[in-house]
Structure 1
Amino acid sequence: MDCLRAETYVLDQLRQHLTPTLFYHGLHHTLDVVEQAHSLALAEGVSDDTELALLRTAAHYHDAGFLTTYQGHEAAGCALARQVLPGFGYEPAHVELICQLIMATRMPQSPGPLRLAQILCDADLDYLGRPDFWRISATLYEELTVRNLLAGEEAWLRLQVDFLSSHHYWTPTATTRREAGKQTHLAEVWEQLARL
């Protein structure tokens, strides 16, 4: 399997064809998820080269469905993976695993016991517990607002409270790295709501 060509292909597609109003789900998010997935995998003791390669490919393709649709983008990303990855030498079982990982990131996340899926889910929402949470969440607010999916700031803050309250990290590493920061951000969102 030629991972480099598969990754180059999808990154080129994202660069050229993603709508510019994907302020959160843009190329930068995909690259961040790739980086975080690799970091988490190593910290979680994933050492098998094939597993690492399939996780990396799934991270590159996890939001590629935004090329064609907003709602249901995970399934669209799987369709793209099934269409192009065999041409890069991926075996059918590898493609299906990649699709399983991509579908696990659908909200609400459902990785089940599959370690690679848990890692990808945690990488996808790593920012929730990071210092750049507010900057990144502002891009999601902007993305949802231009699509008329939010009814103002109060609705956004309530959505944030619900999301942060119900979310949990799946891997011990992500929990250790990010849970405390996420709880701090939740408290800050509550403070903002109280001021409205």
Structure 2
Amino acid sequence: MELENISAYPEICHKILDNLSRKLPAHLTYHTLGHTIDVANVCNHYIDYYMVADSVARLIRIAAVAHDYGYIVSPEGHEERSIAEVRPLLSDYSEREISLIEGMIRATKVPQKPHNLYEEILADADLDYLGRQDYPQLSGRLYEEFLHFGVVANDSQWLAVQIKFLESHHFHTDWAKRHRSDPKQQVLKRLKQQASSAPESSQKAS
């Protein structure tokens, strides 16, 4: 996957992406460089859709490439770790700009609680795949990661986690509500059908 509109990204973004490519642990199958680029590309779409001013678009792009930067250290509290890791690179930015970047990164934390449009953009971009055709492939990668960290132990537990998450999640921007909510509900419907048709012994294992 390639970063779209690459010339619009400030130098700091290229430094972050380079560090991610070199330092992200190999056992991460979902929170990869590819995921970061995907989120950045989705943010590009939102920037165009909402005609965001260049001065703010630059901050959105920084937040997009930095939102999982903390994974180079640990998945625990990675949003705050991302903020701590990226702050030394922001010496050329004002405190107001840094605060906006940090707010956008925090907005990706689940359960998501964005406070303005820019935070809504990051939140929805981070989970854009929930309403896309590549959901099965990307959720499969997340399943592998959850298995590695012991978040789930088997298919039935993973199915239950997916259903619970999709039931509680909602998109924030008007664009995502129109274009991602219905496909996400179809995914949820299929998962519930899968759960109801699972053997009783498998359901008990969850």
* Structure 2 partner of 1:132: 134
Q: CA deviation at 1:118?
A: 0.3
Superposed CA offset, 1:140-192 (max 9, x none): 00001011110211111111111111110000101111111100100111111
- Paired residue for 2:166, among 145, 150, 164? 164
Q: Quote the residue 1:56 is aligned against.
A: 61
1:176 — aligned with what?
Answer: 178
Q: Is the 8 A contact 1:40 1:174 kept in 2?
A: no
The answer on 1:34 being equivalent to 2:40 is yes
Q: Which has the higher contact order (CA 8 A, sep 6+)?
A: 1
Question: For structure 2, which runs of at least 5 residues remain unmatched after alignment?
Answer: 1-7, 199-206
Residues paired across the two proteins, number = 191
Query: Which of these two proteins has the greater Rg computed from alpha carbons?
Result: 2
What is the rounded CA distance, in whole Å, between the counterparts of 1:127 and 1:105 in structure 2?
A: 14
Kindly report which structure 2 residues correspond to 1:1-196, keeping only aligned pairs within 5 A, or say none.
3-43=9-49, 45-86=50-91, 89-112=92-115, 114-196=116-198
TM-score, normalised with respect to structure 2: 0.90
Measure, in 1, the Cα distance between the counterparts of 2:144 and 2:197: 21
Runs (4+) off by over 4 Å: none
RMSD: 1.2
* Alpha-carbon distance in 2 for matches of 1:3, 1:192: 42
Determine what percentage of the aligned residue pairs are the same residue. 36
Where does structure 1 lack aligned partners over 5 or more consecutive residues?
none
1:41 alignment partner, SS class: helix
Deviations 1:68-103 (A, max 9, x none): 1111000000001211121xx222221121011101
Q: TM-score, normalised by structure 1?
A: 0.94
